[in-house]
Amino acid sequence: MKQIVVLLTAIVISNAALAQVGTTVKEGGKATAETAKQAGDEVKGAMSSEPKKSYEKAKAKVHKAKAHHHAKAAKRAAENIGH
pLDDT tens string 61-77: 888 888 888 888 888 88
Q: How far apart are CA 50 and CA 69, in angstroms?
A: 29
**51: phi then psi, degrees, rounded to nearest 5:** -85, -10
Residue 36 confidence (pLDDT) above 60 = yes
Can you give the pLDDT at residue 1? 67
- Structural domain boundaries in the chain: 2-79
Taking alpha carbons only, the member of 60, 53, 24 closest to residue 39 is: 60
How far out from the chain centre does Cα 58 lie? 21
How far out from the chain centre does Cα 3 lie? 38
pLDDT tens string 46-58: 787 777 778 888 8
**What integer is the mean pLDDT of 33-42?**
84
Residue 8 confidence (pLDDT) above 80 = no
Q: How far apart are CA 70 and CA 64, in angstroms?
A: 10
